[in-house]
Amino acid sequence: MSITWARFYTERNVFPVSESVPTTAHAHWNGLDQGWICLNVDGAVSNQSGLGTIAGVFRDYEGSWMLDFNKKIDVTRPLQGAIYISLQVYWEKGFEVLSIQTDSLEAVHSPPRSNRCYV
């Protein structure tokens, strides 16, 4: 998936909305209880076109890859779209328990104000 993201950024001239100085964060895997599925999601939108892409990775409770996806989208709230698509995949695969992980507080704390689908 990293090649897909790199190609999207290169071809679409995607830049962060914020011009703040990036910071380094040390991440580590926090294992889940047996039977749980971990979902990592992210998304990006071009400032110029408004088009974006979303991606997600499902991992088992030990952190091993299970499946992933990516999708071009035509929305301005990519992380909500990523979560929506992820939940569709989750239901289709019959997973029972899920831990969603993202680095976006906006996606977690700002649910849509309407029933409008963002994908």
Q: Are 17 and 26 in contact (CB under 8 A)?
A: no
pLDDT at 39 over 80: yes
8-12, 13-17, 43-47, 82-86, range with the lowest pLDDT: 13-17
Instruction: Report all structural domains of the chain as residue ranges with CATH numbers, in order of start.
Output: 2-14+32-103 (3.30.420.10)
pLDDT at 1 over 80: no
Query: What separation in angstroms does the CA of 100 have from each of 47, 61, 62, 84?
Result: 26, 12, 15, 11
The string of pLDDT tens digits covering residues 79-90 is 777 777 888 888
Cβ-based neighbours of 104, under 8 Å, separated by 6 or more: 42, 79
Averaged over 85-96, what is the pLDDT? 86
64-68, 77-81, 97-101, range with the lowest pLDDT: 77-81
